[in-house]
Amino acid sequence: MRRSLSILVIFIAIFVVLPGILAVVGGGYWFRVTTTIGVFAILTMSANLVSGTTGLMTLGHAGFYGIGAYTAALLATGLHWPFYLTLPVAGAVTACFGILLALPTMRLIGIYFAVATLGLGEIIHLTLLNWVGFTRGPMGISAIPGIALDGLFAASDMGNYYAVAITAALTAFVLGRLAHSYYGNALRAVREDDQCAASMGLNVVRLKIQSFAFACFFAGVAGALWAHTTGYISPGDFRFSESILILAMIVVGGLGSLPGAIVGAVILLGLPEVLRPIGDYRMIVVGAVMFLSILFLPRGLLGETSVLSLMRRQFGLAWDNAKQLGWRQ
Amino acid sequence: MFDIFFVQQLVNGLSVGFIYALMAIGFTLIFGVLNVVNFAHGEVYMIGAYAGWLSITIFAPPLFVVILVALAIGALAGFGLERIAFKPFRRFRDEASLKSKAMREATLLSSLAISIIVRELAEKIFGSNMQTIPQDYLLLTPIQIGPLSFASGQFLIFGLSIVMLGGLQWLLKRTQVGLSIRAVANNPMGATYVGINTERTIIATFVIGSTLGAAAGLVVGLYQGAIFPAMGFAPGIKAFVAMVMGGLSSIGGAVVCAIILGVAESVTTSFFAQGWGDLVAYVFLVMTLIFFPTGLFGGGRDRV
């Protein structure tokens, strides 16, 4: 009962109230901001699975986001695939790249893994930038068809909003089920002590690769959404600074907490927009927010432990409310 | 293949490599002592360049005064950086939390936040376009040695780097400060037990590392004449790569790898387009991590 109520409230907020407000305010600009926040929420949630839940700091998430965006853009402009095909295909291609590129780095831990993903992200960025014959290099790919279905609806701000919102909700559902299950507990065990987890019979390398592949899949989907909603992508959208922004969002929201990832994306992208009147100082404010939140809220705005029990209480599909502990099978 | 052009590129690569080396040492010193990555090091490099540019445009002093000013500002920047971005996160002093992942990530992100703030402030104050050094100070006087031609800036790079590297070796091996730095790097708890002032040692490390970083920034500013707020990013990443290749806490290894990196980059750009040259550093990085996970000159770390 409580579960369906919380889900209903969130659904109404995302699919009725928010687009209603945006339509009344009537700002194409605010639609743009909201879809950007949605795309980054998907990115942050997916990076949170690797960096927060599995504990592998990734500094190259923007690279995988870029692979997804370029896959979708090239398929849509070259082969004229519609968005409902490019989205999953971009995700799958990115996941394959993720597995391929990450296989050799999976035995690295801690700072070494972070550095390796930084290198991978930069390699991807530089390849997108310099392989002019395939990706058109710094010119980017323009005139990417928007989110539209022949005969049903044309590309519009509202269509973009709903595409991003539905994808983000699906991502939150899938990643939430992953993170708040036995599987998520296994990932957390790997984060806390991988040797101990291995001695308990968990296949650490397989878990790491799986979580990385899931994260890459959703990063690719986010990239495809970005390509379709903006209509133009260039390698500049997928630089190291974007990876850092994603990481900052996770940290501000709380490492390992799924709602925190969304809150982080809303804050770090919404704040510069709200602070637009003070103009050039807004990036300084973003830096200051990041610094202060690390200083005073080291666990983030929504810390992992409190959020875990909250999520289980409100949405826990396998959580026994009567006993408050244990799992219904 | 070993024609003049190639040798020329090698020399250019060496000078780039020395710049990376100066920066990599700062990274390595700080990583060795605190076990954390200082992401604001690129901003110290930028501050060094701006300090040199400001002192030239305002006072127009002789070159060695410019160098001294930049070094002093760099030292000050290092001190401030440590106080703001690192000190507040050392609330827990035991060895477990000094080495713990959460603490390391907190300082990694706080230094990142500080670097964003500093860069944006510089952009706000000086504008984001390039500042140019006045022509008289630009070290581009060509010097012909046989068939090779050098810019005078390259000699400054070589000279200053060698002096600073030598000075660092002397400092680390022969002085009280160096001894305490090495002691804290080896074992912070043990160093505290034998009466070493850890706090002061950490500040000293930051000051030394940042002085070297600022020197690198100044020299690049004088040699290439392009100073802008985001200039520290690329060399910072390269120096970071050099540090990882060298095995994270080995200064000699970082210097050798930085020079290898610089030479490899400039040789690559003579065969491929400029853009692919940047790729070299990252390919080296990933290759090193895959085949030599502890770095080319790393000590016997048991797990990576």
Task: Examine the pLDDT at A274 and tell me if it is beyond 70.
Answer: yes
pLDDT band, residue A2 (cuts 50/70/90): low
Q: Which two tokens stand for residue B242?
A: 């050099």
Most confident of A37-46, A293-302, A317-326, B265-274: A37-46
Structure-model confidence comparison of residues B301 and A151, the more confident one? A151
List beta partners, residue A319.
A327
**What is the pLDDT averaged over residues A204-219?**
89
Collect all residues of chain B within an 8 Å Cβ-Cβ radius of residue A280. Answer: 120, 123-124
ipTM: 0.77
Handedness of CA A125, A127, A133, A137 (dihedral sign): positive
CB-nearest to A284 from B105, B117, B240 is B117
Q: What pLDDT is recorded for position A329?
A: 34
Least confident of A102-116, A161-175, B114-128, B181-195: A102-116
Is position B162 within any domain? yes
Highest mean pLDDT among A173-177, B205-209, B248-252: B205-209
Q: How confident is the model at residue B304 (pLDDT cuts 50, 70, 90)?
A: very low
**3-class secondary structure, A102:** helix
Q: What is the pLDDT of residue B93?
A: 56
Residue of B nearest to A132 (CA): B275
Report helix, strand or coil for A294: helix
Number of domains in chain B: 1
Best residue in A100, A107, A113, A130 for a mutation probing chain B (most B CBs within 10 Å): A130
| Chain B residue numbers touching A235 (CB-CB < 8 A) | none
Q: Among residues of chain B, what percentage have pLDDT more than 90?
A: 3
Q: What is the pLDDT of residue A218?
A: 92
The pair phi, psi for residue B61, each rounded to 5°, is: -80, 170
How far is A182 from A177, CA to CA, in rounded Å?
10
More reliable by pLDDT, B134 or B213? B213
CATH of the domain at B30: 1.10.3470
Task: Reduce the DSSP state of residue B39 to 3 states and report it.
Answer: coil
Does the residue B67 lie in any domain?
yes
Read off the amino acid at residue A302.
L
| Residue A310 token pair | 């909250």
CA distance A49 to A97: 18
B232 is a domain residue: yes
Query: Measured in Å, how far apart are chain A's first and last C-alpha atoms?
Result: 19
- Give the mean model confidence (pLDDT) for residues A137-161: 73
Burial of B280 (0-12, 13-18, 19+ CB in 10 A): buried
Which chain B residue has its CA at the smallest distance from A119's CA? B282
3-state DSSP call for residue B150? strand
Which domain range does residue B197 map to?
4-291
Instruction: Give the residue from A97, A113, A122 with the most B CB atoms within 10 Å of its CB, the best one to mutate.
Output: A122
Lowest mean pLDDT among A53-57, B192-196, B201-205: A53-57
Query: Could you report the per-residue pLDDT of A29-46, keeping only the tens digit for each?
Result: 778 888 888 899 999 999
Which pLDDT band, with edges at 50, 70 and 90, does B302 fall under? very low
Q: Are B195 and B129 in contact (CB under 8 A)?
A: no
> How close does chain A come to B104, measured CA to CA in Å?
9
Higher-pLDDT residue of B273 and A81 is A81
Q: Give the pLDDT confidence score for residue A323 in this predicted structure.
A: 57
Name the residue of chain A whose CA is nearest to B247's CA: A112
Closest-CA distance, A219 to chain B, in angstroms, reads 21
Contact B246, B238 (CB under 8 A): no
Q: Which of A104, A130, A255 sits opposite B276 (nearest CB)?
A: A130
The two structure tokens encoding residue B130:
């390039």
Chain B hits for A129, CB-CB cut-off 8 Å, are 275
Are A236 and A53 in contact, with CB atoms under 8 Å apart?
Answer: no
pLDDT at A328: 41
Of A267-271, B46-50, B288-292, the poorest mean pLDDT is in B288-292
- The SS3 assignment for B176 reads helix
Is the Cβ pair A286, B116 closer than 8 Å? yes
d(CA B136, CA B58): 14
Tell me which of A7 and A262 has the higher pLDDT.
A262
Asked if residue B301 has pLDDT above 60, the reply is no
DSSP assignment letter at B130: P
Distance of CA B12 to the CA centre of its chain: 18
pLDDT, greater one: A194 or A149: A194
DSSP annotation of A153:
B
- Does residue B241 lie in a domain region? yes
The answer to the question of residue B78 being in a domain is yes
Using one digit for the tens of pLDDT, what is the confidence trace for A4-21? 777 788 778 777 777 777
Residue B94 predicted with pLDDT over 70:
no
Give the pLDDT band (50/70/90) at residue B290.
confident
Summarize the confidence of residues B184-207 as an average pLDDT: 86
Please report the pLDDT score of residue A219 as a whole number: 92
- Of A142-156, B194-208, B245-259, least confident by mean pLDDT is A142-156
Query: In chain B, which residues touch A (CB < 8 A)?
Result: 37, 85, 88-89, 101-102, 104-106, 109-110, 112-114, 116-117, 120-121, 123-124, 233, 237, 240-241, 244, 248, 273, 275-276, 278-279, 282-283, 285-286, 289-290, 293, 303-304
Better-scored residue on pLDDT, B174 or B89: B174
In a domain, B296, yes or no: no
Closest-CA distance of chain B to residue A294, Å: 6
Confidence of residue B95 (pLDDT cuts 50, 70, 90): low
pLDDT the model gives residue B298: 59
Average pLDDT, chain B: 80
CA dihedral over B183, B184, B190, B193, signed as positive or negative:
positive
- pLDDT, residue A316, reads 64
Give residues with Cβ within 8 angstroms of A46, minimum separation 6. A61, A171, A175, A214, A215, A216, A217, A218, A219, A222
Residue B303 has pLDDT above 50, yes or no: no
What is the number of CB-based contacts under 8 A between chain A and chain B?
Answer: 109
Cβ neighbours around A168 below 10 Å, total? 25
Q: Are B7 and B266 contacting, i.e. CB atoms less than 8 angstroms apart?
A: no
Contact B165/B255 with Cβ under 8 angstroms?
yes
Regarding predicted confidence, which is higher, B149 or A324?
Answer: B149
pLDDT band, very low/low/confident/very high, at A131 (cuts 50, 70, 90): confident
- Whether residues B124 and A110 touch (CB distance < 8 A) is answered with no
pLDDT score for A217: 92
In chain A, residues with a C-beta closer than 8 Å to the C-beta of B279 are 123, 126-127, 130
- Asked if residue B56 is part of any domain, the answer here is yes
Residue B215: inside a domain, yes or no? yes
Task: Output the six-digit token pair for A311.
Answer: 């999520």
E strand intervals along chain B: 142-145, 148-151
8 Å CB contact of A123 and B279: yes
pLDDT tens-place string over residues A61-107:
889 999 999 988 888 888 878 878 888 888 899 999 888 887 877 77
**pLDDT single digits (tens) B126-157:** 877 777 777 666 666 677 776 667 777 777 78
